[in-house]
Chain A
């Protein structure tokens, strides 16, 4: 257990995990609409505020898992309750806790039916999402991972749009299919290493065949979650049908679990397989970037457009991870946060339009610039961020990922560039249509501009767009230690092992 930096005293991480759950349980007994909204806001707000001490308690110079807690759970099977954060997970935990209050606010008017169960689902989601990012025991991780499925399924299936049944079942089946193999891999690893403690499974001399099998099982589960091309088809359906808060959670946090899984499990547990399979995965990422871009360009539905843009953006994240150098991985983590901020905000904005026009059709939202100046101003900033305009958060993320890629392989980096061009194309196309439209715009004069609540919801996102965009150093400092450690170990491993990575070179 020398890998852990146990936190004495107040169990902060457990508090963050279980506070929303307790809040959710309360909602089982009180069903008032107003109460449910306020209560959910209070609970998510309190969780957000209590997550701030993570930053002060975190020592970015240490590569250990920090603020850790370890309790015996089922000793017979070596299953324990172990949680902790490192540079890879800390920002994701904060992203989760900070975004949840805004999901509640975004549902304030949008959700009019079954408010208490809706908020219940949101709170349960929060518990399981934080759990996934901090769990250091594989069984614990798997429980949170699977636990997430049900509330997310309900969010889409109960409060979703017209094709909610189709979308929610598709989401459920895809994710479940991935998870089953994940479970097999976990048990196989347990049988080899005799432990469910994740750090103890890392850097073990498993045979190459075993590693490849485990890697593929992991990869399938995570690639579906990311979603990587060609495992992405559940995403547009789920996004389109989900309520705004559901889309925001999906885009901002759920997708990150796939890439988080790759960083946490694939790289350190199966390093040889990673080296062996990195090249095809890199090209798969490129395919996703280009495919996502082209498909987004063709969309008439705003939510679909943003959903496909996510496929492209997440392609940049997997690209950064599998170039296996510090710049790339740091860029990838930063890009995860950026995508959470920017795409989350874009879904919020589309939700605001939807509340007014009751349509997600781009053609029906043309030319609203004249009547909703604040809306389009904010939309402009977030769209610019989405196509990595310099000075915004995505630029610095993409910059680092591409810098890492150039270091790794010039052709690969050049192949990713059309994705950046396409991003500009589809975002500017959407922006042009919404702000200006053409000569035959529908009558939009009935529209009202954003209210105070809506502007308040979007402002923090805007702050982060420019904060990360113009002063990314504090964020990079948080993740640098762990990333450096991870990449260093990978390099050492490669030098010592030299297992046949010749297949692809």
Chain B
């Protein structure tokens, strides 16, 4: 299995740089179009389409066994800003770029329907966040990863603080404090120490070897590992998850794309990339780092689900659900068996499509019915059948029921935990599934079968505007499609595990 990737052809390809620059350039153009909203939205959407096409264009080369790289700046020996596209990058790049297209149209509808202020700034920062996410996806070493990780933190601050009231400033403050403090406190020393030990921060081209020299002291490696896990606080692992519920003060399109896809997936992507490509399966295995990690994030899975159960605010419930689901990905990778790693990584995709659908629905409900709390949504399903239908489909994906995408991840994760002989992990996964049912099923059930609150007529309400409804239906449909045909995305995962 190693032979396939160790000898992979490494080809220089400047289109990688283009792929990262497209959203940046789009953002700069958007900034100049303050006075022309239609043109501005046109630029955003064309940039998103262009980016997606660019990412797609890398697929043939990757399929033929190549890895694309593009060095940009050489800082010190072994320390550079370099881009790379491999199977691992593609999982995240494809998700982020395709969902950006959907999100651009959705936010157009949301922002205009809600008559939000400062839409230019909003669009520009949105594109900048995608710029950061693309950089993370295509980074070839830990420094590049860290650079773009920090860019994402800084550029999303204006999005969280968008409403500029007390609540959003408070949420945004928490957001930036958690994210930058953990990165500086844990990641920076880890990064430098790893460089001192290894003389480089470049990812190898397989998941087994890592770059930490075998001669390193055991406790140092363990310390570095712990630092790397906590340093990427965007991954939502408890106890550094508080920023995520706090960030829900942002407009819903932000919550949808950033806090279900781009930002949190940046965290998880960075964590897993570091686990597999800096420490490597061999070292993690020999130091026995995997199973403790799996149990540690297992706690997050269960605890966050419990908290989600207690939340009546729909976005808050979704946020805690995100915290819980993100840990699935890390759990899978931490088990270190091929199937578990595959299950974990494919969950990046599956969770993204399902969770964005759920957030889109929450936004649509808010726009159409001005309701934020689940207890007020009884009976709404009858007037908003499409929205709640999509919600139901995405819920099924979260729960892991066939034929929706989430089933695929859960399948692989369950097999993986059995391969690793971890009954405890198996129980965690099952318990979490039950909890998922517990906090998602009532939403749909009440919407369709519940009675509207006394003295409130739902008759006058109707679905949200089409520019919101269509994106959320597309996202839900994609969830089903990748549930039925998982191989398109699985091929990239297989490139990683060989």
A residues apposed to B, CB below 8 Å? 384, 389-391, 396, 399-400, 402-403, 406-407, 410, 413-414, 417-418, 420-421, 423-425, 428, 432, 436, 438-439, 470-473, 476
Contact = CB atoms under 8 A, between A and B. Distances in A.
B165 interface: yes
Given A402-B189, A439-B169, A470-B81, A390 B146 contact: yes
A423 B150 CA distance: 15
Contacts of A436: 161, 164, 169
Contact of A439 (B165, B177, B188): B165
Nearest to B77: A473
Interface residues of B, number: 31
B192 A439 contact: no
A410 B195 CA distance: 13
A425 to B, nearest CB: 7
A382 to B, nearest CB: 14
Interface in B193-234: 193, 195-196, 220
Instruction: For the complex of A and B, list the 8 residue pairs with the smallest distance between their C-beta atoms, beginning with the closest.
Output: A390-B147, A470-B73, A421-B184, A406-B196, A402-B192, A424-B180, A421-B185, A420-B184
Given A390-B150, A403-B195, A470-B81, A418 B143 contact: no
B181 interface: yes
A384 B161 contact: no
A389 B161 contact: no
Given A389-B150, A436-B169, A425 B192 contact: no
B169 A470 contact: no
A420 B143 CA distance: 17
Most buried by B among A389, A391, A420, A472: A391
Nearest to A400: B76
B1 interface: no
A384 B189 contact: no
Contacts of B180: 424-425, 428
B74 interface: yes
Contacts of B177: 425
A391 B147 contact: yes
A403 to B, nearest CB: 5
Nearest to A441: B164
Interface string B66-88: 00000001111001010000000
Contact of A407 (B150, B181, B196): B196
Given A403-B192, A470-B75, 9 more contacts: A384-B154, A400-B76, A414-B189, A417-B185, A424-B181, A428-B180, A432-B157, A438-B169, A471-B73
A370 to B, nearest CB: 9
A403 B196 contact: yes
Contacts of A472: 75-76
18 contacts: A389-B150, A389-B154, A391-B81, A399-B192, A399-B195, A410-B193, A417-B185, A417-B189, A418-B185, A420-B185, A421-B181, A425-B180, A428-B180, A432-B157, A436-B161, A470-B73, A470-B75, A476-B76
A436 B220 CA distance: 41
B478 to A, nearest CB: 34
Contacts of A400: 76
Contacts of A420: 184-185, 188
B441 interface: no
A413 B185 CA distance: 12
B193 A406 contact: yes
Contact of B76 (A389, A390, A396, A421): A396
Nearest to B189: A417
Nearest to B181: A421
A400 B185 CA distance: 17
B454 interface: no
A413 B147 contact: no
Which of A384, A417, A418, A476 has the most C-beta atoms of chain B within 10 angstroms of its own C-beta? A417
B115 interface: no
A473 B74 contact: yes
Nearest to B157: A432
A402 B185 CA distance: 13
B193 A439 contact: no
Contact of A417 (B146, B176, B188): B188
B169 A410 contact: no
Contacts of A384: 154
B192 A413 contact: yes
Nearest to B184: A421
A317 B195 CA distance: 20
Contact of A410 (B147, B188, B220): B220
B75 A425 contact: no
Contacts of B157: 432
B166 A439 contact: yes
B312 to A, nearest CB: 27
A436 B192 CA distance: 33
Contacts of A418: 185
Nearest to B191: A399
A45 B384 CA distance: 70
A375 to B, nearest CB: 15
A64 to B, nearest CB: 26
A399 B147 CA distance: 13
Interface in B143-181: 143, 146-147, 150, 154, 157, 161, 164-166, 169, 173, 176-177, 180-181
